[in-house]
Chain A
Amino acid sequence: MTEKKLLGDDGKRLSGRSDVDLRPLSMSVGILKQANGSAMVEWGKNKVIAAVYGPREVFPKHQTNPHKARISFRYVMAPFCSMEEHGRAGPNRRSIEISKVLKHVFENLVLVNQFPKTSVDISTEVIQSDGGTRVAALTAASLALVDAGIPMRDLVSPVSVGKIEGRIVVDLDKDEDNFGSSDMPVGFSHRTGEIVLWQMDGMLTRDELAKGLDMAFEASKKVRELQLEALKAKYGTAEQAETG
């Protein structure tokens, strides 16, 4: 991997963050009118929109499952989203793989047995990217599903961890991902403590893997807090709700 200095003389990261600091993170729920549910997440310089349609009829029809709902997940990056050249619109090999693993997250969390023969279609668009777009997309999708009223076991609260200059740090930005030596996006369901998303590349020792997972778990608690706040901002607290 290409070397580049990613830690300052004060031991902090170039963004001034410590090893466990997240970038500024804000979320809003219900930003689109046509979709059954929607959300936007701004995570550092990342901006990601998620929309959910469903439960609705399955298309194509032969994918109908008589026992459970089908989840479809679309993760794509807009051609203008990066600091580099104009990208190609639509899915590519990378985004197809990411869409697949993000779909699996909601196959775990959505109560798919409650509405068989239907489809829940989740669409996410990265409109600005700066490293960690898949965890931002997953965060937004989770909120959009709640906004659409889709019954779920839990939210998913994801974050990436990685290794830069030999140190395990939380929430890599674009430079840290490109010039660091490892990147590991992880998504947790905090009700069960289970990992529902896990990918990694780069070289980690077994102890670094264990440390990275623990750091991701702690950092993802903050993501979850902000997700709950964003939902409460639109829907109020349980105490305020008329139906309880």
Chain B
Amino acid sequence: MIVDEVKQDYIKDLIKNGKRADNRGMLDYRPISVQTGIIPNAEGSALAHIGDTKVLAGVKLDLMTPFADRPNEGVVIFNSEFSPMAHPEFEAGPPNEKSIELARVIDRGIRSADVVDIKGLSETGIEGKVLGVYIDLYVLDHNGDLTDAAGLAAMAALSTTRVPKMENNLLVRSESSGNLKLARMAMPTTFTFVNGVPLIDATNEEEVASEGMVTISTSSDGFICAGQKSGSLGLKREKLVELADIALNKGKELLRYV
């Protein structure tokens, strides 16, 4: 938005003086809350709020034919929707590159850390059928830091996902056979660089003023499980490792809300 662009100099000046527009520390999150189970028809759901950013994650399970080259594995599919209600610049239509990037970065973190036991998803007891887990990330209100909010929503939704009973080669969605088993957790931490300073949980106007972002996903057992540099930003090797150390702590901070 043009307003955010006009504000760029103001935001950059503030950061130069060690301040943020809402008086937060550089590595502080806005207030965070998570509501789970708000879509009872979905097998799992969560609405994550970080400040006034809101991302809704819905999880549906389906029986499906496995991929030909992976007959003994279930399927996990992430998608993200930037709803036109979330921001004046979001338009209806097929996913754009930002939406695809968001879904794929969240996907990489959760897939690399083997959060969902995909081998277990193949044990349906039904010949030629495995469980598919669809995780849809709906951005409802965009005031920055969508990746972290989406990661939080996805983990909270997955950790409360129930697996329907299977009877006569069909899913009985009204009855649960227990919760989806998760081996560990994974959480993204995004650093937005404004004037060379990495900020945690940037607002939309800080993102507009920024040179770029680095997202580092970390697992609950202390591994780095996904990374993405986005935007024209360049950074030194030592800086990236320093950010990874911060992400290992910040990931745990967000996991407390799951």
Interface residues of A (CB under 8 A from B): 93-94, 96-97, 99-101, 104, 107-108, 182, 184, 189, 192-206, 209-210, 213-214, 217
10 contacts between A and B (CB under 8 A): A97-B101, A100-B97, A192-B234, A193-B237, A200-B227, A200-B228, A201-B227, A202-B112, A205-B223, A210-B237
Distance A199 CA – B224 CA, assembled complex (angstroms): 12
Contact of B237 among A96, A104, A206, A213 (CB under 8 A): A213
Q: When A199-B229, A206-B248 are in contact, do A194 and B97 touch as well, CB less than 8 Å?
A: no
Q: Report the contact-size class of chain B (Cβ under 8 Å from the partner).
A: 20 to 34
Residues of the B chain whose Cβ atoms lie less than 8 Å from the Cβ of A197: 229
Is B170 on the interface with A (CB-CB < 8 A)?
A: no
Interface residues of B (CB under 8 A from A): 97-98, 100-101, 103-104, 108, 111-113, 212, 214, 219, 222-237, 240-241, 244-245, 248
**Additional A-B contacts beyond A97-B97, A197-B229, A200-B224 (14; CB < 8 A):** A99-B97, A100-B101, A101-B101, A189-B234, A193-B236, A193-B237, A198-B227, A199-B227, A199-B228, A202-B112, A203-B113, A204-B225, A205-B222, A213-B241
Task: Report the minimum CB–CB distance from B5 to chain A (whole Å).
Answer: 10
Residues of the B chain whose Cβ atoms lie less than 8 Å from the Cβ of A201: 108, 111-112, 225-227
Distance A102 CA – B244 CA, assembled complex (angstroms): 22
Distance A196 CA – B231 CA, assembled complex (angstroms): 9
Tell me whether A203 and B219 are in contact (CB under 8 A): yes
Distance A197 CA – B240 CA, assembled complex (angstroms): 12
Task: Report the minimum CB–CB distance from A234 to chain B (whole Å).
Answer: 27
Tell me whether A196 and B234 are in contact (CB under 8 A): yes
Residues of the A chain whose Cβ atoms lie less than 8 Å from the Cβ of B113: 203
Contact of A101 among B219, B224, B226, B230 (CB under 8 A): B230
With both beta carbons as reference points, the residue of chain B lying nearest to A205 in the complex is identified as: B223
Contact of A195 among B97, B103, B229 (CB under 8 A): B229
Q: When A203-B224, A205-B223, A206-B244 are in contact, do A194 and B100 touch as well, CB less than 8 Å?
A: no
Report which residue of A97, A192, A194, A197 has the largest number of chain B beta carbons within 10 angstroms of its beta carbon.
A97
Task: Report the minimum CB–CB distance from B107 to chain A (whole Å).
Answer: 9
Distance A198 CA – B228 CA, assembled complex (angstroms): 6
Residues of the A chain whose Cβ atoms lie less than 8 Å from the Cβ of B103: 93
Top 5 A-B residue pairs of the complex, sorted by shortest distance between their CB atoms: A194-B234, A200-B227, A107-B232, A198-B229, A108-B232
Task: Report the minimum CB–CB distance from A157 to chain B (whole Å).
Answer: 13
